[in-house]
Amino acid sequence: MAKAPELINVSNEAALRDAGEEHLWIHASAHRALADEAQGKRILVEGDGCIVKDIEGHEFIDGLSGLWLVNVGHGRKEIADAMARQATTLAYASSISSTSVPAIQLATLLAEITPGDLNTVFFCSGGSEAVESALKIARQYHYLKGEPKRLKVIGRRGSYHGATHAAMSVSGLRAGNEPHGSPFMYGTMHVGPPHCYRCEYNHTYPGCDVYCVHAIEQLIEHENPKSVAAVIAEPISASNGVVVPPQEYLPRLREICDRHGVLLITDEVINGFGRTGKMFASEHWDLVGDIMTMAKGLSSGYAPIGAAICRPHVMEAFEGPNRLSHLLTFGGHAVSCAAALANIEIIQREKLVDNSAIMGARLLKQLEELESHAIVGEVSGLGLLCGVELVKDKETKEKFKGDGEELKFMTQRLQDKGLLTRAGNVISLAPPLCINKEQVDRIVEIVDETLTEAEQEFDLG
Ligand SMILES: Cc1ncc(COP(=O)(O)O)c(C=O)c1O
């Protein structure tokens, strides 16, 4: 019998890098990304609170909480213990014949802490599956209510809802997904986002009377309301800059959907679990989606889990024998549910939502001062979800080239100075919610220095 290959030891960085280059396909990266220094991929080995350490011993403030998800911070033994307890008691219960205690406990807790009367939880393994599930629920809802032609879904350009086919189709980043994504799901269409700094409609708030939300109603009417199943929107979009909508936008969107019998799917995959200074961003506007999606901060990344939670009027359609034909093996995984329960307990006990609001206000205020930089177009944010929008030219708002030297330089300098995030069109900043004042101030210092160095290096402004 062949001998099992020995695992490469953590002390052997070069061998790990070589093996990773050969065998690991890192998501959203070029093949052999580990070999390409310009891609700046670190091999992380440890984390504690807001700090992560790479294999070479460099320490960083985790400026993006991994990928907008390690809300309670790294190294939480309580979550690991809860997972171990559940795994050694019962790791898995099949949804064909059973469920588990933590799945029931977590669903009940989510019904309690989510906005309004959101009440019934469908579990899955992450954000894309949560969106995929919400879209299927919305379409089947209309079918069961006797409106089978309501199939279309409206999203917003610039939004991101996931990598699976339907989620990618409602995402508003189509051009980049063209080679593998098309043809996109039937009936998915898009309007411009409520991004006043770069208004697609060339309007100016408040004189525009929030035209961008009116555009959604126009599209619903143009398409025939009886053919539209849902509108999907993150309360605060974070994938292409941090887009905090004008105050009226979401309440009006709610009214428009109600007027036309269209379901509103609120995507809180990034926004949820304290990220914006409320438990859910919808609360800033007293908004209640008909279906709300969540993932990421639900377990702070300690275990893969996502969910779509529905209001009673949605669930009415599924009373009796009308089941949702949608089985995900890992949905409601007992260990993931145990991780999420321990995670939410920490968020509540340590008042991390309040800390997000307080530290977020401190971060945003200081970042706004960076608007004096020649290459900062706009700073935006709410809670610990902030973005520094970069421009080559303030007047024309010209963006830097995605693969240009300037952005590479800035990403490298941010990391060299000890801040792990990326400089795209936007420097996204979303550290763990347990961050303290000193760490917030250090983030701003690093960004400030990096901007100055980039301006000098490339003679900008
Ligand atoms: C708003 C939103 N929805 C859905 C997703 C997809 O989540 P996942 O990557 O867990 O599949 C993301 C991922 O970043 C997201 O930002």
Residue nearest to atom 8 of ligand 1 (CA): 127
270 lines ligand 1 (CB under 6 A): yes
Task: Measure 77 CA to ligand 1 centroid, in angstroms.
Answer: 26
135 lines ligand 1 (CB under 6 A): no
Amino acid identity of residue 347, one-letter, is: I
Which pLDDT does position 422 carry in this prediction?
A: 83
Which pLDDT does position 36 carry in this prediction?
A: 73
448 lines ligand 1 (CB under 6 A): no
Which pLDDT does position 239 carry in this prediction?
A: 87
Which pLDDT does position 182 carry in this prediction?
A: 77
Instruction: Give the residues of the chain that fall short of pLDDT 70.
Output: 1-2, 38
Which pLDDT does position 35 carry in this prediction?
A: 76
126 lines ligand 1 (CB under 6 A): yes
Atom of ligand 1 nearest to the CA of 271: 1
Which pLDDT does position 209 carry in this prediction?
A: 97
> Where do the domains of the chain lie, and which CATH numbers do they carry?
42-72+351-457 (3.90.1150.10), 78-349 (3.40.640.10)
